Amino acid sequence: MVKISYSTVVAVSIMVVVVVAIGFFVYGNTFDKPADGPEKSGMTVTDMEGRTVTLNAPVERIVLMESSKTAELAAIVGDGFAEKIVGWDNDIKQNAGDEYAVFVAKYPQLADIPDVGSLDDGTFSIEKVISLEPDVVIMHNWQFTWAGDATADALTKLELAGIPVVFVDFYMDPMVNSTKSMLLLGKILDREDRAREIVDFYNEQTGIVYSRLATVNGTGPSVYIECASKDPSDYGISYGDVSWGSIVKKAGGKNIAEPLLAGTSKALSPEYLVSQNPDIVVLTGRNWSTPGSLKLGYTTTPEVARSTMTGFVQRPGWDTINAVKNHEVYGIYHGYCFSIYNFAALEAFAKWFYPDLFGDVDPDAVLREYHDRFMPIDYGGTFVYRYS
């Protein structure tokens, strides 16, 4: 018997085993081959946490513990993706309401998916997940960083209940692990050819950037990037060599936050920012619910993007920053730092950092092509923006 050091975890785990014992016999007998589903077989994969996971595949019933990953599932599966999501958290509704609205308009059944709670706010319900009888729960490496105890606790309980958990990563090392995560999803969904096609497109786009950057000599422009999810009076987090910060580095920029933050994310002081006098400022926007936050996304017009960016540009002291004086302040959709769409973020950064080298690169056009080829929803809105 494995001992668990925390008494509360032991108590809850025993309760979970008792609760599911009655129903698990039925679940276990239907797990290999649901009545109306395809023939399943055992599959062992290594997930993005380096864990060896055995599950029955192809998976048909998914609990998605970052519902914004609906976009990745939709790209891999196509029209049938909505039927595979049997539970999720509220991330897509709370932080990407524009994307949620576009998806629901075409796939109304998404509005009825049960909310199983979130790991980062203490609302996750193991009982609800068990009741949904998923083939797999998909989690994300960043959840260990931002909600480590809750994630570890949920993982323990799910394993005791016999429910496989697969971790993907589009955030901690996005330019390396996003394609690996897509291939992993393709494997467990029995859509490996489709996932490979998406990855090939991704590699084609990023390859354009990397091959040209290889010809650059010297240090790139200094860059400040901030998550603009708050009112301009309150500085949002910046990034060291992780997430957005790692994309800045890959695109040939010099991230002013990295010396302070290393591999973490935290707000920088206004004084430090002004003293660093960055050449480029990038603000990330989304369909945030916070008043004053930067709005970008499927339902945002360029006019709205500009009006919500103005308060940031007019912060005290920003008129002395080179980026503001030279009209080098940009907005980009925040969801791109933890999604397969980060190829477009890389292209946008490269274009902003080295306009002479990437004058022919059009991230907006590439995003439209990606939607045309892989997404079941149409492309529209404002995802990249230059303030002028």
CATH at 274: 3.40.50.1980
| Domain shared by 226 and 175, yes or no | no
Among candidate residues 178, 201, 224, the one where a domain is terminated? 201
Least confident of 80-94, 133-147, 228-242, 342-356: 133-147
| Domain shared by 190 and 276, yes or no | no
* Residue among 341, 313, 182, 322 nearest 247 (CA): 341
- Give the model confidence (pLDDT) of 164-212 as tens digits: 999 999 988 888 999 999 999 999 999 999 999 999 999 999 999 999 9
Distance from C-alpha of 98 to C-alpha of 62, rounded to nearest angstrom = 23
| Domain shared by 99 and 244, yes or no | no
- Under the banding of pLDDT at 50, 70 and 90, the label for residue 38 is low
* Coil vs helix vs strand at 100: helix
Q: Is residue 17 part of a domain?
A: no
Beta carbons within 8 Å of 34's beta carbon, 6+ residues apart:
40, 60, 61
Among candidate residues 167, 201, 235, the one where a domain is terminated? 201
pTM: 0.87
Number of domains in the chain: 2
Q: Is residue 330 part of a domain?
A: yes
Please calculate the CA angle 240-243-244 and round it to the nearest 5 degrees: 80
| Domain shared by 295 and 250, yes or no | yes
Distance from C-alpha of 250 to C-alpha of 245, rounded to nearest angstrom = 9
- Give the model confidence (pLDDT) of 112-140 as tens digits: 999 999 988 889 999 999 999 999 999 98
What residues make up the domain containing 188?
A: 30-201
Sheet-wide strand order for 280-285: 254-255, 222-227, 280-285, 329-333, 384-387
| Domain shared by 193 and 253, yes or no | no
- Helix (H) or strand (E) holding 52, with range, is strand 52-57
Distance from C-alpha of 166 to C-alpha of 45, rounded to nearest angstrom = 9
Beta carbons within 8 Å of 121's beta carbon, 6+ residues apart:
none
- Helix (H) or strand (E) holding 23, with range, is helix 7-31
Q: Which residues pair with 165 in a beta bridge?
A: 137
Q: Is residue 24 part of a domain?
A: no
Distance from C-alpha of 199 to C-alpha of 194, rounded to nearest angstrom = 9
- Under the banding of pLDDT at 50, 70 and 90, the label for residue 338 is confident
Least confident of 184-188, 242-246, 275-279: 242-246
- Give the model confidence (pLDDT) of 357-381 as tens digits: 999 999 999 999 999 999 999 999 9
* Residue among 78, 75, 79, 186 nearest 138 (CA): 186
- Looking at residue 146, its pLDDT comes to 66
User: Exposure pattern of 4-21 as b/e (b: 16+ CB <10 Å)?
Assistant: eeeeeeeebbeebeeebe
**E strand intervals along 80-190:** 85-88, 136-140, 165-168
Q: Which residues pair with 87 in a beta bridge?
A: 63
